[in-house]
Each structure stands twice: as C-alpha cells, then as structure tokens.
Amino acid sequence: MKTNAAHAFQQITAKQVMVVCFVLLMCILIYHRIQPRPGYELLVTAHATGWGYTILQQGKPLIDQPVVPGSSGSAGFQTEIQAQRVGQYVIQKLTTQPGLPTLTPDELLKLGIPTQ
C-alpha cells in the first residue's frame, strides 16, 4: 500500500520538473544581475607608445590613462608595473577622496615614475 507522499511523488511529471528548473535558473540569473559589483577595477593596457591603464567603476570606464599623467607628449608608462602601480594608487585616491583624483609630480616620483 502506498503512502500519500509516495503517491504525490509519482504524480510529478517531466513538465513540472522542467518548470521548476526554469524558475530556479531565472532566480539565479536575477540574483547575479542585481549583485553589487566591486567598486573599481584596474585594467593595464599596452599601447604603441608604452603602457597605460583604465579604471572601471561598476564595469564601466571611468578613467582611461594611456599616457603618464602630467607629462608633455603622448608617451605611456615605460613598464606594465609602472602603469599598474599608478593605477592602483589612483584607485586608492578614488576610494578615500571625493571627486576625480589628480597626481602631482612628487607623487609620481614616489611611485617610481620619472617626470620631465
């Protein structure tokens, strides 16, 4: 003799299972869509004139810096490490100070970036 629970379990059809799976998938997709993204992300990029960086805010470009800040001309950073170091410093300034950051020649020197 079958119990009510066993009888109810037998009543589940493939269509019902697919509907439940679809609803679960939609819930997962919605959850990932509304999850807050990290504040800032640094992308270091190679250019014809050297290295640069782009800072993304919530996945969208906020700062694109293909050249050394404050330098005359269009030369990028000499190395990938320099671009990364300055980009990380700019992100630090973005998170601790209001508005878009500026870099002084002294700050660049402290970061190991030669200024002209």
- 9-49 pLDDT, tens digit per residue, is 667 777 787 888 888 888 787 776 776 556 899 999 999 99
With a cut of 60, say whether residue 71 has pLDDT above it: yes
Kindly state whether residue 116 falls inside one of the protein's structural domains: no
Kindly state whether residue 115 falls inside one of the protein's structural domains: no
Report the alpha-carbon distance of residue 100 to residue 70 in Å, rounded: 15
Report the alpha-carbon distance of residue 86 to residue 55 in Å, rounded: 11
Q: Considering its fold, how many domains does the chain have in total?
A: 2
> How sure is the predictor about 3, in pLDDT bands with cuts at 50, 70 and 90?
low
Which residues, including other chains, have CB under 8 Å from residue 54's CB and lie 6 or more apart? 42, 43, 45, 61, 63, 64, 65
Which of 51, 62, 66, 61 shows the shortest CA–CA distance to 100? 62
Q: With contact defined as beta carbons under 8 Å apart, do 94 and 58 qualify?
A: no
Amino acid at 102: T
Report the alpha-carbon distance of residue 52 to residue 94 in Å, rounded: 18
Q: Give percent above pLDDT 90 in the chain.
A: 49
Domain that holds residue 23: 4-34
Which of 51, 116, 61, 115 shows the shortest CA–CA distance to 85? 51
59 and 24 inside one domain: no
pLDDT of 27 reads: 76
Kindly state whether residue 14 falls inside one of the protein's structural domains: yes
Q: Pick the more confident residue, 63 or 15.
A: 63
28 and 74 inside one domain: no
With a cut of 90, say whether residue 6 has pLDDT above it: no
